[in-house]
Amino acid sequence: MSNSTVDLYRYPEELKEEFITTEDINFRDGSKASAEEIWHFMTVEAPVRYPHAFTKSSYYHRQLSRDIHLPSSIKHNYLFLTMKDRIENSRRNGTPVIFVQGGQSVDPYYAAGAIALRPASVGLWASGRHEGNTMVGEEVRRMDEKEKAYRAISFEACQTAGYEHIQEGDLPVDMLAPFTCLRCSDVSYGVEAHRHGKKPVNLFLGDFPLDHQKDKPWAIDYFAHNLHRLTKEIGDMAGHVVTDEALRAEIRLHNAGRRLALDTADAWWSADAPPTNGSDRRAIFQMGGMEMHGDPTASLTVLKEANRYIRERVKRGVKGNGVQDNPGRIFVCGSCVFPNEFRTEEAGGVIVGNDNHWSDISTLVEEEGDPYYNLSKAILSYPYEQDIETRAAWTIQEIRKSRAHGVLFLYNWGCNTQSAIARMLVDIIKRETSLPTLIIEHEFGASQSEQLQNRVNAFVEMVRP
Amino acid sequence: MALTTVHKIRDRVEKRPLELAAAREKGAKVVGWLSYAIPEEVITALGLIPIRIGTGGDTRLVEIGSRYISTKNCVFVREAVGLFAENKDPYIVNSDLVAFDAACLQLFRTAEVVEHYFKVNTLVLGVPRNFYWPEAKEYFWHELEHFVGKLEELAGVKLDPKRLAASIELYNGIRESIKELYRYQAGNNPLITWSQTYDVIHAGYYLDRAEYAALLRELLAELKDKQGEPVISHTYGEARIFLSGSVIPPKDHKLIDIIEQVGGRIVGDDLWSGLVPHLNVEIKEPTVKGIAYAYLSRVPHAALPYLDLKTDERLKNLKGLIGAFHAQGVINHTLRYCDPFTFKAGETKEQLKQIGIPMLEIHTEYAGSDFEAIRTRVEAFVEMLRNLDYQEAV
Amino acid sequence: MSKEKIYAGVDVGSLGTKALLLRGDTIISHGLIRTGIDTEENGRNVLKVALDNAGLQWEDLDYIVATGYGRISAPYANRTVTEITCHGKGAHFLHPKTRTIIDMGGQDCKAIRLDEDGNVNDFAMNDKCAAGTGRFLEVMAATFKVGLEELGPMALRAKEILPVSSTCTVFAESETVSLLARGENPDSIIKGIHHAIANRVAGMFSRVGVESDVFFSGGVAKNVGMKAALEEVLNARIVDPEYDPQLVGALGAAVLAKTYATREANNGANNRS
């Protein structure tokens, strides 16, 4: 049967009664989306506007999770599919949108009155502007769009800093202001490429100093200066004066998300039977970064509910939808990529952890005192951004907590930074944990990759108890 | 007419590894370095011997290096790792410490990899991306102080201000000589070609710096005597080519040989393995702070992103040098996975097009399998440049 | 009346060796043989074919220009010139209004820009590990168990594109095998392959620019699906070839043979006077 024909998944009607009793999503601007509104959108409106999300094929790794009794899963997808509407509404109300890097905190951006979106979120926003696409149509659109960035920069670029959406498309991002050098060598060149783009856009690089940065007072000082400049520039754009207290308040809010994600992870990992599938797990853990939905308050609301459901499932020994009994538990390190969780689960595995976003999520920021200094100190101490041995020590700690049976290191073709450290990191992990490991190169943006999935599945077969 | 000093320099380079080993036996300490922001002035002032390491063109070493770093890293970096893995290169063997900096992120990671796998004693100097900010200069100053502190531990002495001042003067002299040498190689009927000049630059990676400074002065005197003052202009059919882009380190001759074989004449470069490290270094005070500020104010390396096209000093410098050397076209040499130069190639081409300078992109690695492919491209480019001359004459 | 001079162009490519003869400004014959191991012999043999077709002898030739990768072993030639320059002249001869050429052969792909006299003023060529050459199509034809000539019509029949990677031919082959195993429409996969190649070509043209009408030369130019995909991605019109696109290089070489012969004769006359 062809997977490219339109054959959509629908949430079963009998779920409605259960779902509409769950909690509302609260938004930063004080508005709410009730469970009933969410249900209506996900069953009536979204399948028409974004049919690709409702694809039945497990080859499409962005498909909806089938864990329909996990309301946070549906709400997370609701937030994803309403990204475009909400972001554009916020912009109309005067909130600027800033492109940031993955794996970084977004506290200062929100404190300055903006919305911060990492590359995948910007891509989601861009995707939301194209309605009616099937899975195949969406993949072709995405690949063709990325080609435009390749032409302007290089085919070897991995991270193109939204060039395809902003310069070659018409996405009205107000500013590009990632923290640079953070795990990704390409992002600063991607931002730089905008200088020769067709459209003027505000550019800023938050200069992340390298080499034992967390131990050098002058490095912390320097990055704190970067943060001052950042909040001032954004504040000026938003017509907003950023006070220290406002930044501290934002830090407290984001710390709440971080703590909750850590608590949720502890619960998830403690269970013998994974309480959710890999796709839901990844989304829930990542909500602690308070970035992925373009609204920290919304992320926190959904995360709170997710935390309760997971704790309950762990207590009752409930397994996530699609996960087999005694799956091979895989921890994924590397670039901002992951295998297709659905196909991995079909092969008997489950992804139990990722290191890249987890590094910033698991780093709490001090809440008293100079917020710029505190943020700088915390950001410069992200485990993922330390020397390889220090990063490995932290990764091993997380691998042990996750009770993984094996470790995959995935890096993008074109990702010089993660590819450079892959072997060393994996060698240390292997030495310290005796776990099987595998390094795989991934073609970023490819719609499907049999070569990649083949390797993942073989690894699952090898490690599965 | 052969230049005796060129032969002398070559001869001295051949003898250098044994000299270095002998010096170490007598207690001298050698600081090998890779990357782009390491100030040799400081190393020399501490009585340490600076050696710029790193070679190119050896696919065997690239393959070995790829096992420790990855096949997705720039070939220069991979070969560097291969050099450490094999541990036969006399300069690698004779380095007591190897310094890296964070300008190039891949070289930054190389430091950790070689330390981990080959127990190399490494030291890293952080380099800010926003190098044009006052805060960045301040940061780099403190980084350099920290770096100097580590070198002082190796040397067993503190940095003496007088010796630093003398060292700065020595290196300023070297830089002036190199700039002058480049004028000679670009001149009409030159006695020294660009590739001979390039070999002389590379000799400066290894030789004792005071001796090197003297040899440069000797070479310039010989040139002045035998050639006179250089006159730089374009001759019909000459195909004057400027080389830009990724480094072309010692032993990487592929592209240079091809250009010369097909009849092109290289008249200048802005390579970080060639002329550009010697440009615009204005050390205003003979202190670590003075050096830090000066190094951060040089023509920036492409690895350091810069957000405003109109005021980009790297591009301004490139255009200036093209004009100064009367180049007709640019060959932009980029190594596979050398992101800074590869990603900017299209933009550079567009910028040069605006001033009527054609540019050829050569994206390559050290394998010989693309030799013919590159030859065809370069030859076509030379044909194109010569045809421009013909069109103009007609 | 002086005999009109005969100019020869020889293009020794990786798969085919071509020769073309001009009498003045008129094409009088050509030759096309499969490239063998002995490069010099290939050149001589194909010239002989062209001469035989024209009823001429080797001694009738006034000037020979050799091009293609095999030009490095062409002692019989008066001069060697790269295929980039030759393609420029050949395309200009056939379509004087052309300012843009796509040349897609077995092993490489070229984007060439011309001025109004057919001189190359910019060009770009493919890099390694980016499947934008005819070889990619050959591999795919073998995977689909069809002849190369069938790929184009299959692509045109398809109603949609199934996206296929173009980073590596081998990985792309794995993907297509998997897509076929899943029951996807072969025509759609083939269209996806053509689309992927067109994107790679568009990458080269981002460096040099495109101006309609575009001249498409090389073996892949006969593929109607590729032509359609390129027109769509480049947003440009590709002219219909009036001559075998494989012979454009040899034609350009012959045109240059005439140019150089004339120049040298004029220089000789100037020297004597």
Q: Is the pLDDT of residue A450 over 80?
A: no
Instruction: Please count the structural domains in chain C.
Output: 2
Q: In whole numbers, what is the pLDDT of chain B averaged over residues?
A: 96
If asked whether residues C35 and C87 sit together in one domain, one would say yes
pLDDT of residue C203: 87
The complex's ipTM works out to 0.95
pLDDT band for position A413 (50/70/90)? confident
- Give C129's pLDDT tier (boundaries 50, 70, 90): low
Whether residue A210 is predicted with pLDDT greater than 50 in this model: the reply is yes
Cβ–Cβ contact A216 with B under 8 A? yes
Question: Which residues have CB under 8 Å from C109's CB, separation 6+?
Answer: C102, C103, C125, C126, C132, C133, C200, C201, C204, C218
Of C72, C125, C128, the CB nearest to B377: C125
Distance from CA of B362 to the nearest CA of C (A): 9
Specify the CATH number for the domain of residue C267.
Answer: 3.30.420.40
Convert the pLDDT of each residue in A290-334 to its tens digit. Answer: 999 999 999 999 999 999 999 999 999 999 999 999 999 999 999
Tell me the shortest Cα–Cα distance from B384 to chain C, in angstroms.
Answer: 6
Please name the member of A193, A196, A419 whose beta carbon is closest to the beta carbon of B70.
Answer: A419
Contact assignment for B376 to C84 by CB distance below 8 Å: yes
3-class DSSP assignment, residue C244: coil
Asked if B307 and A191 come within 8 Å (Cβ–Cβ), the reply is: yes
Which SS3 state, helix, strand or coil, does residue B54 take? coil
* pLDDT on residue C165: 74
Say if B77 falls within a structural domain: yes
Measure the CA–CA gap between C112 and B176, rounded to whole angstroms.
Answer: 42
Least CB–CB distance from C161: residue in A140, A443, A446 = A140
SS3 B332: strand
- Identify whether residues C110 and C234 lie together within a single domain: yes
Q: Report whether pLDDT(C130) > 60.
A: no
Q: How many CB pairs under 8 A join B and C?
A: 44
pLDDT of residue B266: 98
Taking CA atoms, what residue in A is nearest to C175? A450
Q: C194 and C254 share a domain?
A: no
Residue indicated by tokens 């901002």: A336
Rounded to 10°, the helix A186-193/B339-353 angle is: 10
Q: At residue A273, does pLDDT exceed 70?
A: yes
CB nearest to B126's CB, from A152, A210, A226: A210
SS (H, E, C) A89-115: HHHHCCCCEEECCCCCCCHHHHHCCCE
Which residues on C lie below 8 Å from B387 (Cβ)?
85, 119-120
Residues of C with CB under 8 A from a CB of A: 127, 130, 160-163, 165, 167, 171, 174-175, 177-179, 182-185, 188, 192, 195, 199-200, 202-203, 206
Would you say residue B295 lies in a domain? no
User: Is A210 in the B-facing interface, judged by CB distances under 8 Å?
Assistant: yes
**Residues B319-341 pLDDT 10s:** 999 999 999 999 999 999 999 99
Calculate how close chain A gets to B279, using CA atoms only, in Å.
24
Q: What is the pLDDT of residues C54-109, one digit of tens each?
A: 999 999 999 999 999 888 899 999 999 999 999 999 999 999 999 999 999 877 89
Judgement on whether residues C87 and C40 belong to the same structural domain of the protein:
yes
Q: Are residues C181 and C79 in the same domain?
A: no
Q: B116, B133, B142: best mutation site toward chain A, by most A Cβ within 10 Å? A: B116
Chain B positions touching A151 (Cβ under 8 A) are 346
Run of H or E residues at B14: helix B4-25
pLDDT averaged over every residue in chain C = 90
CA dihedral angle for residue B203, residue B209, residue B211, residue B213, rounded to 10 degrees: 80
Give the percent of chain C with pLDDT over 90.
Answer: 65
Mean pLDDT of B134-142: 98
Distance CA A182, CA A173 (A): 21
Nearest CB among A156, A205, A209 relative to B139 is that of: A209
| For range B235-258, the mean pLDDT | 96
Nearest to B46 by CA among B206, B126, B212, B162: B162
Which residues constitute the domain of residue B140? 16-157
Task: Please check the confidence at residue B242 and state whether its pLDDT lies above 60.
Answer: yes
CA-derived radius of gyration, chain B: 21
> Residues A202-211: what's their mean pLDDT?
96
Answer whether residue C175 shows pLDDT above 80: yes
Residue A44 above 50 pLDDT?
yes
Average pLDDT over residues A80-102: 97
pLDDT score at B196: 97
pLDDT band at C273 (very low <50, low <70, confident <90, very high): very low
pLDDT average, residue stretch B174-200: 97
Mean pLDDT on A339-368: 95
Domain boundaries, chain A: 13-463
What's the confidence (pLDDT) of residue A73? 97
Overall size of chain B counted in residues? 394
pLDDT beyond 60 at C30 = yes
What is this structure's pTM? 0.93
Cα distances (Å, whole numbers) of residue A307 to A17, A330, A358: 22, 22, 16
Cα B139–chain centre separation: 25
Encode pLDDT of A368-411 as tens digits.
Answer: 999 999 999 999 999 999 999 999 999 999 999 999 999 999 99
At residue B243's C-alpha, the angle toward residues B377 and B375, to 5°, is 20
**Boundaries of domain holding C50:** 1-95+247-273
Given A186, A222, A389, which is nearest B339 (Cβ)? A186
At A4, the pLDDT band (50, 70, 90 cuts) reads: very low
Mean pLDDT of A25-37: 98
Tell me how far apart the terminal alpha carbons of chain C are, to the nearest angstrom. 23
Distance CA B173, CA A420 (A): 38
- Distance (Å, rounded) from C-alpha C25 to C-alpha C4? 10
> Which residues of chain C have a CB within 8 Å of the CB of A4?
160, 162, 184-185, 188
- Interchain pair B70, A189: CB under 8 A: no
Provide the pLDDT confidence category of residue A1 given band limits of 50, 70 and 90: very low
Give the pLDDT mean for A163-172: 95
Number of domains observed in the structure of chain B: 1
Residue B21's CATH number? 3.40.50.11890
Residues of B in contact with A188 (CB under 8 A): 129, 305
Chain C contact for A2 (CB, 8 A cutoff): yes
Query: Can you tell me the distance from the alpha carbon of A284 to that of A261, in angstroms, rounded to the nearest whole number?
Result: 7
Check B339 against A189: CB less than 8 A apart: yes
